[in-house]
Amino acid sequence: MSWSEVGAPEHRRRSALRLGSGGVLAALAALAALAGCGFELRQPLQLHFSSIALTGFAARSPLAGELRRTLGAQTRVLDDPARAEVVLEALADRRERSVVASTAAAQVRELTLRLAFDFRVHTPGGRELVPKVSLLLSRDLSYSETFALAKEEEQDALFREMQTDIVAQVMRRLAAIHP
């Protein structure tokens, strides 16, 4: 056993303690600086009602399904609007796909995907809590016939992303309601 092997573990322990206390001090300093600037982690949205009903959606609307799951984590989602404290009424829920660019041989090269959602929020008695809101998101998608299956998957992923964004926007508007 050499001299360097005998003293090495103790030396490593001491240097780890020195680095550890310095790291702790640096972390405490960073936390103090963040606390002074008003930084706060984003908190989950708080809804100020206990039940909601979703009306006006198509039978198998993916947007309604995601809204139902997201709302269900914080409040009761009811099927009967008369028993709910708040009613979210879907006025339009559209997915659109349009050709933006094509070749001289009429092959599609670029698409625009749009997800539109119009809604309003009211009480079962008819008092309007949020007037009609129109949300429209769009994404551009390049297209190639040779990769049609992959582009179809990419299109579905973009629609899911837009749907999640719309649900987040709806949740922010619902969190602002105080019925």
Between these two residues, 4 and 41, which has the higher pLDDT value?
41
Q: What band does 153 get if pLDDT is binned at 50, 70 and 90?
A: very high
Beta strands in the chain (DSSP E): 51-55, 76-78, 86-102, 108-122, 128-142
- CB distance 51 to 75 below 8 Å: yes
- CB distance 68 to 77 below 8 Å: yes
What is residue 17's predicted lDDT score, i.e. its pLDDT?
47
Beta bridge partners of 95: 115
Judge whether residue 96 has pLDDT over 60.
yes
Mean of pLDDT over the chain: 85
What is residue 176's predicted lDDT score, i.e. its pLDDT?
92
Between these two residues, 157 and 41, which has the higher pLDDT value?
157
Judge whether residue 44 has pLDDT over 90.
no
Judge whether residue 61 has pLDDT over 70.
yes
Q: What is the mean predicted confidence (pLDDT) over 50-55? A: 95
Between these two residues, 38 and 155, which has the higher pLDDT value?
155
Between these two residues, 9 and 96, which has the higher pLDDT value?
96
Lowest mean pLDDT segment, chosen from 12-21, 83-92, 93-102, 134-143: 12-21
| Cβ neighbourhood burial of 141 (10 Å; 0-12, 13-18, 19+) | middle
- CB distance 50 to 75 below 8 Å: yes
Judge whether residue 133 has pLDDT over 50.
yes
